[in-house]
Amino acid sequence: MPLLKRQQFFTALQPLILSFGIACAVEGHAAEGGSTVYPLGVENFVAGALPPPGYYGMLFGQHYRATTLKDKDGNTVPVPFELTADVVAPRLIHVTDQTVAGGNLAFHAIFPVVHLDVRVGPRRQTRSGLGDITTGFSIGWHHTPKLHSLAGVDVFVPTGRYKKDDLANIGRNYWAAEPLYVVSYIDPNGFNADIKLGYIFNRTNTDTDYRSGQEFHFDYALGWGFANNWTAGVGGYVYQQTTSDRQGSNDLAGSKGRAFSIGPSIKYDSGKGWFVTAKWQKEMAVRNRPEGSAFWVKAAFPL
């Protein structure tokens, strides 16, 4: 490609690759700046089992890397691309004594700290800092000793650093809300299954007059408990953008993203109130997003 045309191509591409959130993904189009506000695949085993009333801590860690961008047809975008992201996200949870509809009311907040390195064509940028905070409430039920569920609403607060001309943004610069429902079936001596469903409503980025489309996703984990405090299986996520992005008053055709991921997953439960999960997941069937892989770890403990 001649130098002038290559520069024109990169210049045209830059408005489509503007930012990055805790989701650790940069897209060519779908959802502005290439990421959803939700960290896809973050949840694992024991996602829907609310602990007894009290205060709890959780710690999420993620390493994500992608070297391929996919367009709306699933073809690789012909541009040099690298994305590496490392995230550490403490989460504080308060499970109250108050009951609503027969379940315990709980509140939580997540404070992600992000290190992001992005290269697109000749441009490269690195950023670190506090990302967008997530806060919300949920109601948790214990239907049987093995079956648990919770329902709630999360709000994503635009606290992360954002500049519309930056390649690597650790904030989204808009609010979003997500109703969610989570179910866990937990058997230390047998089958285990978790699914977390969410539907995201995005507000407009006032700096760019861009509104990302609505998004449906679910994280899942399937495994077997081995009666020795260990559970092993598979986990990942399914993501589908359901409405098109909007620039001003115009819908952007071909802007919906989608992805699927799967990989091995394990859990260790101490039997003393704390547990740890870990998984590796590979993305596939990707549209309008990067295609990469992620390693996740999650620890939960009473305070």
Beta bridge partners of 184: 148, 194
Model confidence pLDDT, tens digit, residues 65-102: 999 999 999 999 999 999 999 999 999 999 999 999 99
Q: Where are the domains of the chain?
A: 3-302
Mean pLDDT in the chain?
90
pLDDT given at position 188:
94
pLDDT band at 34 (very low <50, low <70, confident <90, very high): low
Residues 6+ apart with CB under 8 A from 83: 20, 24, 25, 26, 64, 65, 66, 67, 116, 117, 118, 119, 290, 292
The whole-model pTM stands at 0.89
pLDDT band at 14 (very low <50, low <70, confident <90, very high): very low
* Predicted confidence (pLDDT) at residue 284 exceeds the cutoff of 90: yes
Phi-psi category of residue 23: left, alpha or beta, with phi > 0 → left and psi -120 to 50 → alpha: alpha
What CATH number does domain 3-302 carry, 2.40.240.10, 3.40.50.720, 2.40.160.40, 3.40.50.10140? 2.40.160.40
pLDDT band at 227 (very low <50, low <70, confident <90, very high): confident
Averaged pLDDT, 169-193:
97
> What is the spatial distance between Cα 106 and Cα 99, in angstroms, rounded to a whole number?
9
Averaged pLDDT, 207-229:
96
> What is the spatial distance between Cα 194 and Cα 298, in angstroms, rounded to a whole number?
15
> What is the spatial distance between Cα 31 and Cα 13, in angstroms, rounded to a whole number?
15
DSSP SS3 for 53: coil
56, 74, 103, 266 from 49: Cα distances, Å: 13, 37, 11, 17
pLDDT given at position 27:
34
- Pairing between strand 275-287 and 290-302? antiparallel
> What is the spatial distance between Cα 280 and Cα 196, in angstroms, rounded to a whole number?
18
> What is the spatial distance between Cα 41 and Cα 218, in angstroms, rounded to a whole number?
8
Percent with pLDDT over 90 in the chain: 85
Q: Catalogue the E-assigned strands of the chain.
A: 54-69, 81-100, 103-110, 113-120, 123-130, 133-142, 147-157, 176-185, 191-202, 204-205, 210-211, 215-225, 230-241, 246-247, 250-251, 258-269, 275-287, 290-302
What is the torsion angle, in degrees rounded to the nearest 10, for the CA atoms of residue 197, residue 265, residue 132 and residue 92? 90
